[in-house]
Structures are given as structure tokens and as C-alpha cells.
Amino acid sequence: MRNKKVLPFILMLTLSLFPESLAADIDMVILVSDNEADSTLAESVANIIGAKGIVKVPWGIYNPDYSAEVLKYVPDRVIIIGGPTAVPIDYEKDFEEMGIPYERLWGKNRYETNLAVIQKLKNEFPEEFSQIETVYITHGRDVLSMLMQKELKQMPSKSIWIFTDKSYEELTLQALDEVIKTARNRPWVEIVITSRFVQLAPIDTITNFLKQRGYTEGAHFTISNVRPAKRFILEALKLVDNKTHIAEKFLDGLDIPRAKRRLSIAKEQIARAWKLYSLGDYQEAYILAVAASRNADFVISISAREWNGIIQGRPEIRLKREVLRLEAKVKVLKELGMDVSTIEAEINELKAILNKPVISPDEYRDILLNKIPQIKKELREAFIEEKRSRRRIPVEHVPGRGEKDRAPRKSGR
């Protein structure tokens, strides 16, 4: 029996080491924050490598329901785009517990993350990477250019975004060079500018770099000075407004003076942005929204770290959080058609203990060291068995209408 349990892990590990071009049947899912740059980049990557899906999580926030969303795809591998500040490390723990190989691609900021992703594509997916047809270059915080480009243009399926800033000129050129050197055919390059206030790396530096590599403006690249439509600015303001509200909720109950100051600035900036928008000054409204977004990101990041420390120091909160994580996974396995009633019963027993007015130290230790690890082990084995059973189904097999009502599969216990 032991060998049977070990084999799926060996198989998954082996497959995860192959380049995608050599293991085209591997189901991959991308997990990314809703940060405008990382999520836009993730969409490009998904198209290039043929990922099965993308799951976007709120920037800096852990919620087990998003891990559960990934599990619905029954993936062989997860690619996380963004650092642990943007996509908390708790998501990695969820994948580890379910036996899903994962890899995080990231840097200290969105520009380094951009380069890390491009280098990974080049090294691990050379065939797919060489087929890139179009490169879009824009400022890493210019959400307008990303919104407009994706909605107004028929973007090639093999396109990639490069994000730039006046302080990250070298990263921009390095990322661009990686694409140009590897592409099978000369990719079209479009430099997108939506506001004179959002400073890209010096345009002349980028265009001279392209010309040195045989590019001609008009024939091989263009500079698009786009005037944003009112509706796109409205959408950008809504996104930042929502992020500011999330930051305020996260900070509620915490005493962090510098975060409170940044939240106050963000709220003032977005309020002024709405005022300017109502007066028809859309460009100024957008610039204020970009600034408010940066401040809200700071508040969410520092508040999330503080709450995580509080949870780790409060065993009763920590255990209740663990139960929520278990319940999210059980819900997915049920949706996949599995009978996990035995595991559900075990979780209900845990909840009954945690709801007692007084819990002894021995009970805490037993739950933390024995009961929860055992349930996690059962969930992991059930999930791997589900994945293995799906791989046995022939590709051409299409479930009939009556199969939807078949009895759920046992979890293997």
C-alpha cells in the first residue's frame, strides 16, 4: 500500500521538472494578485503557455476560498506570480498540504517580477516564448493603458507586457532584449502612453535600443499616445476606490500610526480624484487615483503582516483559521463529486471542541499536533486519488447527461 501512495507524488514531481513543451498535457494554473501589472502579465503568460486557468486574489490578502478555486482545476502545477507581500505565503502552504507542486516567480517590485517571469518563460518554455508576436511597453502603474489595450484592441494570443518606470530603465531594456533575441520572428513593439504625468523610462532610450536591433519606427514599432476615454478613467477610479476601502477595513482595530497617515492621504486623494472627475478634469483625477493606489497598497501590506502576527500569537484564532482552511478544501472536493462525509464529521468534531467555553492546553496540543494534521493528510490523499482517477479517463470521453447524477466517489478512507 505504501508504494501506491508514493507513486503519484513521484509522477507529479517528475512531470513538474519537464519543460512544458515536453509535457503538454500538464494542467497548470496561475495564481496572481489583482495588482494591475501582475494580473495583466499573468493573462499574457496564460495565453503563451496554455495555462488551464488564472485565479486572481486581492493584493496582500489571504483567503482560503481562492486556494479552493485553484483546486477546482485539479492542477498538476501552480505558478504564482508576485512576491509574498502581494500573494501571501499561506497560499503556498495550501498547495503543499494538497500535494500540488508550485513555483513562485517574483522580484522586489513589479518591474523585477516582470523580468523574472520573462526569463522563466524563455528558459522553461522556449518554444512557446519564441512565438511571441507583440510586445506592449507601458508604465507599471498605468492601469489605464492596460485596461484600454485589452478592451479596444484585438490582442494577439502570443503577446507579452513589459512594465517600465524612469527608475527601472535597465530592467526594461533587459526584459525587451530577452524577448527580441529569442523570438522566432521579429515581434511588433508598441509603447503605450496614456498620460504625460506617468513617466516611463526615457522614450528615446527605448527607441534607440530598438533601432540598434534593426527596428524601424512605423514598420516594427510604434509609440501610441492614447487619450483615455472617460469610461476607462471611471473604471480605474472605481478600482482604486475599492482598494482604499479594503485598506481601511484591514487597518480597523490596529494601531499603526504610519499606516493611518497613509490611509488618510489615500482617502483624501481618491476623494479629490472623484471631485476632479465630476468637473471633467479626467487626467488629474487619474493621476491622483494612481497615487492613492500606491498608498492603499502600503496600508494593506503592513496591516496584513500585523494581523498575521496577531493570529500566530493567539492559538484559538489560529485554530479557527485552520478549520476555515479545511472547510474550504472539503467544499471543493464535494463539488468535484467526492464523498468526504467522514472528513466533514471530523471537522465538525473539531468545531465542537473549539466552541467550548474553556479548552485545556492538552486539547489545544491534540488538535494542533494530531487532529488537524490527520485531516490534512486525508484531504491530500483524497485529492491525489481524484487527480489520478481523472487521468485514467480517455481524452475523447464526454460524460453523458445521466453521469452527472452518479453517486459521489468515496474519499478513499
Beta strands at 188-193 and 221-225: parallel, antiparallel or unpaired: parallel
Residues 6+ apart with CB under 8 A from 125: 19, 20, 21, 48, 49
> Do 181 and 235 sit in the same domain of this protein?
no
> Do 29 and 97 sit in the same domain of this protein?
yes
User: What does the pLDDT look like over 374-385, one tens digit per residue?
Assistant: 999 999 999 999
pTM of the full structure: 0.85
Query: Under a CB-based contact definition with an 8 Å cutoff, are residues 36 and 157 in contact?
Result: no
User: What does the pLDDT look like over 236-249, one tens digit per residue?
Assistant: 999 999 999 999 99
Q: Which of 413, 323, 331 is nearest to 377 (CA)?
A: 413
Q: Which of 20-24, 62-66, 171-175, 354-358 has the lowest mean pLDDT?
A: 20-24
Residues 6+ apart with CB under 8 A from 219: none
Helix, coil or strand: residue 183: coil
> Do 19 and 121 sit in the same domain of this protein?
yes
Measured distance CA(384)–CA(350) in Å, rounded: 24
Give residue 195's pLDDT: 74
Is residue 315 predicted with pLDDT exceeding 90?
no
> Do 142 and 85 sit in the same domain of this protein?
no
Q: Which residue, of 282, 313, 344, is where some domain finishes? A: 313
> Do 165 and 74 sit in the same domain of this protein?
no
Measured distance CA(173)–CA(212) in Å, rounded: 12
> Do 20 and 114 sit in the same domain of this protein?
yes
> Do 114 and 87 sit in the same domain of this protein?
yes
Q: DSSP string covering 28-75, please?
A: EEEEEES-HHHHHHHHHHHHHHT-SEEEEE-TT---HHHHHHHHTT--
Q: Which residue, of 210, 228, 246, is where some domain finishes? A: 228
Q: Which residue, of 313, 335, 358, is where some domain finishes? A: 313
Determine the average pLDDT of the residues in 81-108: 96
User: What does the pLDDT look like over 50-89, one tens digit per residue?
Assistant: 999 999 999 989 999 999 999 999 999 999 999 999 999 9
Structural domain including 91 reads 1-125
> Do 361 and 303 sit in the same domain of this protein?
no
Q: Which three cell numbers stand for residue 385?
A: 486519488
Q: Which three cell numbers stand for residue 391?
A: 487521468
CA-CA distances (angstroms) from residue 399 to 26, 84, 122, 404, 406? 21, 40, 38, 7, 11
Can you give the C-alpha Rg of the chain in angstroms? 24
Is residue 156 predicted with pLDDT exceeding 80?
no
Measured distance CA(407)–CA(392) in Å, rounded: 18
Beta strands at 338-339 and 159-164: parallel, antiparallel or unpaired: unpaired
Is residue 404 predicted with pLDDT exceeding 80?
no
> Do 199 and 236 sit in the same domain of this protein?
no
Size (the chain), residues:
413
Q: Which of 90, 56, 95 is nearest to 308 (CA)?
A: 90
> Do 88 and 179 sit in the same domain of this protein?
no
Measured distance CA(148)–CA(193) in Å, rounded: 11
Number of domains in the chain: 4
Residues 6+ apart with CB under 8 A from 170: none
> Do 184 and 251 sit in the same domain of this protein?
no
Q: Chain centroid to CA 94: how far?
A: 14
Share the mean pLDDT of the chain. Answer: 87
> Do 281 and 293 sit in the same domain of this protein?
yes
Q: Which three cell numbers stand for residue 179?
A: 524577448
Measured distance CA(200)–CA(204) in Å, rounded: 11
Q: Chain centroid to CA 203: how far?
A: 30
Is residue 393 predicted with pLDDT exceeding 70?
no
CA-CA distances (angstroms) from residue 166 to 113, 138, 203, 258, 312? 17, 11, 10, 27, 40
